[in-house]
Amino acid sequence: MELLNIPYKVSHRAVKYPRLEFKTGELLIVLPFGAKPEILLDKYKNWIIKQFNFIKGCLESTENRKLIMRSEEMFRKLIHSLTRETAKELRVELNHIYFRMMRTKWASISPAKNLTINSLAKYLPEYLIRYVIFHELAHIIEKRHNEKFWGIISRKFKNHQKLEREMFIYWFLVSNHCKKGMK
């Protein structure tokens, strides 16, 4: 199915509220069983077009970027080093660091202060890994992406909007790399 030439898929699940996802670069409409997508498509048409154009621009920008090829050992050493440095800078305590493949994000922080890093982040340039770690550890101070959170981020990364866009660009670049079977 298409909305103004924007392909999308519909998934009916046991959910209470419908939602739109662009996590993989393709629009997914998640609906409760029996619900129809037309109302959601009409209501969020402008948002869908804006997201689609943003993703299209990110995909075009992948041509100008290169993946970093580092060993698993080098990647883990880098993560541990940057995490120690960032935790000290933010004056936060971290419990554990875990590494695993994640399908929709570069990293996450748990309420127990455990940092999980997407194993695919090993392909990112160091400046983006540094940003990811700072972003996640800032969530120890402020859980939500609100004004206070972005204030913490802005103290170190004045260009955080540009970095967020770069994260999307690299997401698509790494995804395409892995689809080719070159993990």
Sheet with 27-32, strands from edge to edge, namely 2-3, 6-13, 27-32, 19-21
Beta strand pairing status for 97-100 and 27-32? unpaired
Domain 72-179 fold is Zincin-like (3.30.2010)
Question: Average pLDDT, stretch 149-172?
Answer: 93
Predicted pLDDT at 183: 47
Give every CB contact of residue 158 below 8 A, 6+ residues apart in sequence: none
Q: 20 in helix, strand or coil? A: strand
Contacts of residue 157, Cβ cutoff 8 Å, sequence gap at least 6: 131, 134, 163
Lowest mean pLDDT segment, chosen from 65-74, 111-120, 174-183: 174-183
Strands 6-13, 27-32: pairing is parallel
Q: How sure is the predictor about 81, in pLDDT bands with cuts at 50, 70 and 90?
A: very high
Instruction: Identify residue 180 by its one-letter amino acid code.
Output: K
Q: Report the percentage of the chain scoring pLDDT > 70.
A: 93
Confidence category of residue 80, pLDDT binned at 50, 70, 90: very high
Q: Answer whether residue 182 shows pLDDT above 60.
A: no
Q: Which residues make Cβ contacts (< 8 Å) with residue 132, sequence separation at least 6?
A: 106, 107, 117, 121, 124, 167
Domain boundaries in the chain?
A: 2-64, 72-179
Q: How far apart are the first and last CA of the chain?
A: 32
Range in 56-70, 102-116, 155-169 the model is least confident about? 56-70
- 25 versus 33: the higher-pLDDT residue is 33
In the DSSP assignment, the letter for residue 10 is E
Q: Does residue 134 contact residue 23 with C-beta atoms inside 8 Å?
A: no
Chain segment 37-56, per-residue pLDDT in tens: 888 888 888 888 888 888 88
Please answer whether residues 47 and 20 qualify as being in contact, where contact means their C-beta atoms are separated by less than 8 angstroms. Answer: yes
